[in-house]
Amino acid sequence: MTQVLAIGYVWPEPNSSAAGSHMMSLLRFFRAQNWQVEFASPAQQTEHMADLSLEQITCTPIALNCSSFDEYVCKLKPDIVMYDRFMMEEQFGWRVDKFAPDALKILDTEDLQCLRNARHAAHKTQQVFTQDSLLDSELAKREIAAILRCDLSLIISDYELELLTTQFNVSPELLHHLPFMVDLNALSSDLPDFHQRKHFMTIGNFRHAPNWDAVLYLQQIWPMIRKHLPDAELHIYGSYPPPKATALHNPKTGFLIKGWAKDALSVMAQSKVCLSPLRFGAGIKGKLLEAMITQTPCVTTQIGAEGMHGGLPWHGAISDCPQTFAAEAVALYQDQARYLQAQQNGQSLLQARYDKQPLEEQLKQKITHILSNLNAHRRANFIGSMLRHHSMRSTQYMSQWIEAKNANKMR
């Protein structure tokens, strides 16, 4: 039986982040193929992590810079190793190459870290982001190198797929576009209607910088909305709210920090409009997909909608101007015809771009093809082979030096 090893940057928290939900969908895909799946991570376990045993997935804690992983991976003998973000490939890739060289190596990028960081830096310095700036980025060099060292990288956004092939000249054979996968047959049709819903909402892990910035931006936008809708409230959900976030809670103005939502879809479905004024970031946004699923129209920015709708109409409105953003939010809240059209747009997007069935079939075909032609696939990727050769030297010796140093401290 095929053995899959997923090496996680963190333990999956599907109710805390889109990354957690995406990881769970991948693990479930592997299980649906009747493959054995093991999830391993060097991260600390958390209160919100998923119970993977319910998915018949085994779990193992692993250590950074420790030869114990070598013995572990030798014993497991994985046929497929999937790295959760490029940092895990950097840490464990050379060990997998050495002790499980025939395993198919998949990198789940989640989103391009270099793109998100470059946009964040541009936002902080009030500079205009350009794609050319990525060519000088040390983070980009590390991330693209990890992509090239792997046999296949899963790219969640079609914008990022094009960026990789045009800006960095990565071969399309090494990439696979895989957005969020939604089981359309499992979606509820029993949702509150226009008149039953009330208030605005936003949601996002407070530890994620784009989400925290969006909350701060909403402080600027919300008074403009509240001026036209004095009885409306803005409910702000998200895991791990810091004191600086809870300090913003203001019942008088209807700006309410709700914190952790045990059931994100439920609170989304009760809300009338979702607000997501993201000013930087990358990938595609799980909260906006949840808005489509719960038929909750959404107002977002160009960054928020990037990679999510192609040429199809958005399920709400898109604006980078705070005044226009507020005006669109008020219009959606009040205009039933516009609201119903936005809901229909969301349903069309789900069917056209996020249907689990064809997405899983395409991924299965891609993995099966590479597995059956792994040697030829790797021979065609000489740059990746060259990078693996050098990384097994530099990363290996750095890791072994850290391990020796740590062992010395314990004596």
DSSP string, 199-253: SEEEE--TTSHHHHHHHHHHHHHHHHHHHH-TT--EEEE-SS--HHHHTT-BTTT
Which two tokens mark 73? 């991976």
- For residue 107, give the H/E element and its range: strand 104-108
* Helix%, strand%, coil% for the chain, nearest 5: 50, 15, 35
Average pLDDT over residues 86-104: 95
**How far is it between the farthest Cα atoms of the chain?**
72
CA distance to 133, 149, 179, 310, per residue, from 115 (Å): 10, 19, 17, 19
Average pLDDT over residues 318-325: 98
Tell me what pLDDT residue 368 has. 97
pLDDT by residue (tens digit) across 332-366? Answer: 999 999 999 999 999 999 999 999 999 999 999 99
Tell me what pLDDT residue 189 has. 84
Average pLDDT over residues 162-167: 96
Average pLDDT over residues 103-129: 95
Number of CB atoms found within 10 A of residue 199's CB: 17
Whether 392 has a pLDDT exceeding 80, the answer reads: no
Query: Is 105 within 8 Å of 31 (Cβ atoms)?
Result: no
Share of the chain above pLDDT 90, in %: 83
Nearest CA to 90 among 77, 107, 75?
107
Measured between alpha carbons, how far is 258 from 45 in angstroms, rounded to an integer? Answer: 24
Average pLDDT over residues 114-132: 93
CATH 3.40.50.2000 maps onto the chain at 3-181+356-409, 185-353
* Domain 3-181+356-409, CATH class in plain words: alpha beta
Mean pLDDT estimate for the chain? 93
Q: Which residues contact 325 (CB under 8 A, 6 or more apart)?
A: 221, 277, 299, 301, 317, 319
Long-range contact list for 33-39, CB < 8 A, 24+ apart?
Answer: 33/2, 33/364, 34/1, 35/1, 35/2, 35/3, 35/4, 35/80, 36/1, 36/2, 36/3, 36/4, 37/4, 37/6, 38/3, 38/4, 38/5, 38/6, 38/76, 38/78, 39/6, 39/8, 39/11, 39/12
Alpha helices in 294-381 (DSSP H): 302-305, 322-334, 336-353, 356-372, 374-379
- For residue 142, give the H/E element and its range: helix 138-149
Tell me what pLDDT residue 388 has. 85
Tell me what pLDDT residue 397 has. 60
Whether 406 has a pLDDT exceeding 90, the answer reads: no
3-class secondary structure, 272: coil
Share of the chain above pLDDT 70, in %: 96
pLDDT by residue (tens digit) across 170-209? Answer: 999 999 999 999 999 999 889 999 999 999 999 998 888 9
Q: Which residues contact 23 (CB under 8 A, 6 or more apart)?
A: 6, 8, 12, 14, 84, 108
pTM over 0.85: yes
Tell me what pLDDT residue 59 has. 96
Query: Is 219 within 8 Å of 255 (Cβ atoms)?
Result: yes
Average pLDDT over residues 100-113: 96
**β-bridge mates for residue 195, sequence order:** none
Whether 411 has a pLDDT exceeding 70, the answer reads: no
Which two tokens mark 381? 């990727």
Whether 330 has a pLDDT exceeding 70, the answer reads: yes
For the domain 185-353, what is the CATH code?
3.40.50.2000
Which two tokens mark 90? 């950097």
- For residue 83, give the H/E element and its range: strand 80-84
User: How many Cα atoms occupy the beta-carbon half-sphere of 315 within 13 Å?
Assistant: 28
Measured between alpha carbons, how far is 102 from 237 in angstroms, rounded to an integer? Answer: 44
pLDDT by residue (tens digit) across 56-91? Answer: 999 999 999 999 999 999 999 999 999 999 999 999
pLDDT by residue (tens digit) across 379-391? Answer: 999 999 988 877 6
Query: Is 295 within 8 Å of 347 (Cβ atoms)?
Result: yes
- For residue 292, give the H/E element and its range: helix 286-293
Query: Is 89 within 8 Å of 107 (Cβ atoms)?
Result: yes
Residue 47 pLDDT class (50, 70, 90 cuts): confident
Average pLDDT over residues 17-22: 84
Q: Which residues contact 165 (CB under 8 A, 6 or more apart)?
A: 171, 172, 175
Tell me what pLDDT residue 205 has. 87
Measured between alpha carbons, how far is 159 from 310 in angstroms, rounded to an integer? Answer: 9
